[in-house]
Amino acid sequence: MHKLVYKIGKTREKEHLMLDFLDGLSRTVDDRISLGFIPLKLPVVDDVAYRIFETIEEYRQWSEQNLPAYLGYYRPND
C-alpha cells in the first residue's frame, strides 16, 4: 500500500493522473471491483425473475414493445 500524498496548489495534468493511478493501485482487488460496479434497477427487465420465449423474433418484438429505447433493446433503423 502506498503512502497518502497531499499536494498544495495546482498539479499538472500528468502528475494528477499519476496520483489517481497510485490511489487506485493502493486499493485491494475487492475494493476496486466493488467501486467499479453501479447497481442499477432496470425497469421492466427486473420485474420478473425470468421470461421464456419460443423464438428470438418473439423476444425482439417483446423488447421493442415493452422496454425503453435508452436500454438499447431495439433494432436500429437502417
In this predicted structure, the answer to whether residue 58 has a pLDDT above a threshold of 90 is: yes
Residue 29's contacts (CB-CB under 8 Å, 6 or more residues apart) are: none
Hey, what's the cell of 1?
Answer: 500500500
pLDDT band of 2, cuts 50, 70, 90:
low
How many percent of the chain have pLDDT more than 70? 92
Instruction: Using pLDDT thresholds of 50, 70 and 90, give the confidence band for residue 71.
Output: confident
